[in-house]
Every structure is written in structure tokens, then in C-alpha cells.
Amino acid sequence: MKKYSLETTVGIFLVIGLLLLGYMTVKLGHVSLWGNDTYSLFARFTSVTGLRAGSPVYMLGIEVGRVERLAMDQKEQRAVVELRIRKGVTIYDDAIASIKMEGLIGDQHLSIDPGGGGAPLADGGTITETQPPLDITGIIGKYAFGEVKKAQ
């Protein structure tokens, strides 16, 4: 009888551990199991250096979505970024999307100035005003090799 009690206890702990592991996988992987609570927007950039799928999207300093996919428009020679934005977050057609550095190690994120003077963007809409990332390595290289002139 004691043998079955020990096996039952171990089995219960194993099931609880597997459930917790599954929960953490879903939460850390940003996976939605019960419906889609996001909508899709697009932005076109001249360069998306350092940005990757899964990078966060911030608006007013608050994370409102993720970069879903990066693609290239061969016809217009532009990088196309697909964003997944949480429902309930309104972004207008005069919004500005810019790629910014998140920390000293160079991770990039997308920052959106929401606008407000135009009409709200619907699912599948495009943010037309964009700013590519600042080329820090190019600036440091110019400074290091004396190509930057001091203002007088």
C-alpha cells in the first residue's frame, strides 16, 4: 500500500511539473492558444539592420507588440516589416515608426510615435513614415579616423 502512495505522489508532482513547463513555454514564447488578440501592421524601411523577428515594438515606452516577419520588396527596394500589435492599441495613419537601439549591446527594437491627426490604421494597414536605425559603428569609425570635424 505504501508503494502505491509513493508512486501516486511522484506522479502528481510530475504532472504538475509538466503543466508548469508548458505554461512557461507558452508565456515566454509569446504564443496565444485561445484566439488571436493582435492585429497586423506593415512598415517599409530603407534599412532594418539589427532588427529581427521577435523584436519588441514599443509605443510611448510600453511594449505593444512584436516584429512578426522581415521581408524585402524587390520592386521598391525596401525592407518590409510585419508587426503584430495588441488589440486595443490604436495607431494612426500619421504614425512614425523608427528602429532604435535597446541597450549597449546593440539589440534593436521598433518604436512607434502613434500620431493622432489622421484615421486609425486597420488590420493590414501600412505605416508610411519610417526612420531607419542610426549607424553607430559608422559614426564611431568616422570619429576614430578623424573624419568628423569639430564645430567652431
How many domains in the chain?
2
Alpha carbon distance 135, 3 (integer Å): 66
Q: How confident is the model at residue 7 (pLDDT cuts 50, 70, 90)?
A: confident
pLDDT at 148: 56
3-state SS class at 122: coil
Please determine, for residue 35, whether its predicted confidence score (pLDDT) is greater than 60: no
| Domain-located, residue 95 | yes
Question: Whole-model pTM?
Answer: 0.68
Q: Are residues 67 and 96 in the same domain?
A: yes
Q: Are residues 105 and 58 in the same domain?
A: yes
Q: How confident is the model at residue 32 (pLDDT cuts 50, 70, 90)?
A: low
Q: Are residues 26 and 45 in the same domain?
A: no
| Domain-located, residue 139 | no
Please determine, for residue 12, whether its predicted confidence score (pLDDT) is greater than 80: yes
Answer for the pair 47, 63: CB distance below 8 angstroms, yes or no. no
Q: Are residues 103 and 86 in the same domain?
A: yes
Per-residue model confidence as pLDDT tens digits over 108-128: 889 999 877 888 888 988 988
Answer for the pair 47, 104: CB distance below 8 angstroms, yes or no. no
The average pLDDT across 29-37 equals 63
Angle at Cα 92 formed by Cα 90 and Cα 97, nearest 5°? 100
Q: Are residues 3 and 78 in the same domain?
A: no
| Domain-located, residue 147 | no
Residues constituting the chain: 152
Please determine, for residue 101, whether its predicted confidence score (pLDDT) is greater than 80: yes
| Dihedral pair phi/psi, residue 68, rounded to 5° | -85, -45
The domain that holds 61 is classified in CATH as 2.40.30
Angle at Cα 112 formed by Cα 108 and Cα 116, nearest 5°? 175
